Structure 1
Amino acid sequence: MSRRVVCLRHGQTLWNVEKRFQGHTDIPLDETGLAQAARAASLLAALRPTMIVSSDLRRAYDTAAALGRLTRLDVAVDKDLRERGGGEWEGLTRAEIAAGWPREFADWEAPGGEPVTHVAERVSSAVRRWADRLAPDGLLVVASHGAAIRLGVARLMGLPEELWPTLGGLGNCSWSVLEEGRKGWRLMEHNAGTLPEPVQSDDSPEATQS
């Protein structure tokens, strides 16, 4: 048996609907997001997870808590699983960002924001740290955020930075499944759990296209 990790993106928030950059801002799930979390929990509970860990931001924690209630597992919290910090862009819509910072928008690099390399390293390190606690046949569910998961997964798989954009974004309450192989972690599923649809996330525009 191999250790597995399910990286679950949080449910919908009002700022997702309004296409606002959330970053570290602590936005709660909206009514739809709570329903999405309950649905995802019912599906993932069937996999019999053995451990759940979440970002400290409540949109992720409340998503994880729905699964915790079904599985009767405690939800651990790790700040390193937070979303990418958005600097001056947090709270702004994508249209406002494009109008105010056209050059930075093209590179998706927010003034005062967090570099993608830093996000990839902290998220992948956190996933490894928690996965190391699993039994050989254990299943870890990590509740986190769209850009954080995509970057962390890319780093975990050892993809060179120029290939990170080849991984698409994740819809709300969709997930990616990683399995540990003899030569490292393998991506078994990506953006699973929903039908293909446009992704509203803090991720780069090229990663969120439908």
Structure 2
Amino acid sequence: MIHPEITTRFGLIRHAETVWNRAKRIQGHQDSPLTPEGERQAAAWGRTLQRLRWDRILASDTGRAVATAERINNHLGLPVVLDRRLRELDWGRWASRTVAELRAEEGALVAQQDRAGWDFRPPGGESRHSQLERSRQVLLEAAGRWPGAAILVVTHGGVLKSLVHHLSGGQPLATDGIGLQPYQLHWVSATGSNLALEGLDALPTE
């Protein structure tokens, strides 16, 4: 149900550091565990996020996002809803590779995809447009289900970038210069069927 007069706020954060993040490997729908530093990050976020009002947590069902949400929720004690539509872009056969490896082995194709914007699609994977649409749908459905709520969303870097590009009218290119900090809180609001970008890099300091 759409509530045209009620605003629902979403605080979006990327999962904490993983083994493959540290190794600079593309994860996509594949997974790797949090590093010890990632576990500390998530626990610290939980302490920091206690300062803000939250009603529930939405999280990707990928292991690294679930582990991050669990550690945050040790401090918040909120209902948690998992949704596979909040997963990272499906990187197809490029998952588990590093960008350096791909540029060395498939440089022409990588360069072509870098210029594709919303039509970027790794071989055997999905387009950025597809990822954007599924993540937008999650937020709009949540706003209809819990109007006026403050919802923490634990998701992935690609989801965050796609939403920010869309809501700021940009194109997701390799040289986008968007500069999102990787371990920060970003605010999006939903009023009726409209999403709006409210703020970037807004995690309170401890």
TM-score clears 0.5: yes
Select the residue among 146, 157, 168 that pairs with 2:179: 168
The structure showing larger relative contact order (alpha-carbon pairs under 8 Å, at least 6 residues apart) is: 2
Runs of 4+ in 1 over 6 A off after TM superposition: none
Select the residue among 106, 113, 120 that pairs with 2:125: 113
- The question of whether the paired residues in 1 share the 8 Å contact of 2:140 and 2:190 is answered with no
Alignment of 1:78-157 (within 5 A): 78-106=83-111, 107-108=113-114, 109-136=121-148, 138-155=149-166, 157=167
Which has the larger Rg?
2
Instruction: Point out the more displaced range, 162-171 or 71-80.
Output: 162-171
Q: State the distance in 1 between where 2:131 and 2:10 align.
A: 18
Give the deviation of 1:67 after TM superposition: 2.3
TM-score, with normalisation over the residues of structure 1? 0.81
Q: State the distance in 1 between where 2:66 and 2:134 align.
A: 18
Alignment of 1:5-20 (within 5 A): 5-20=10-25
Residues paired across the two proteins, number: 192
Q: State the distance in 1 between where 2:146 and 2:30 align.
A: 31
Deviations 1:26-52 (A, max 9, x none): 211110111111111111221121010
Alignment of 1:58-69 (within 5 A): 58-69=63-74
**RMSD, matched Cα:** 2.5
Q: State the distance in 2 between where 1:177 and 1:186 align.
A: 9
Alignment of 1:11-30 (within 5 A): 11-30=16-35
TM-score, with normalisation over the residues of structure 2? 0.82
**Which 5+ residue runs of structure 1 have no aligned equivalent?**
196-210
| Identical residues among aligned pairs (%) | 30
Give the deviation of 1:162 after TM superposition: 6.7
Q: State the distance in 1 between where 2:16 and 2:41 align.
A: 6
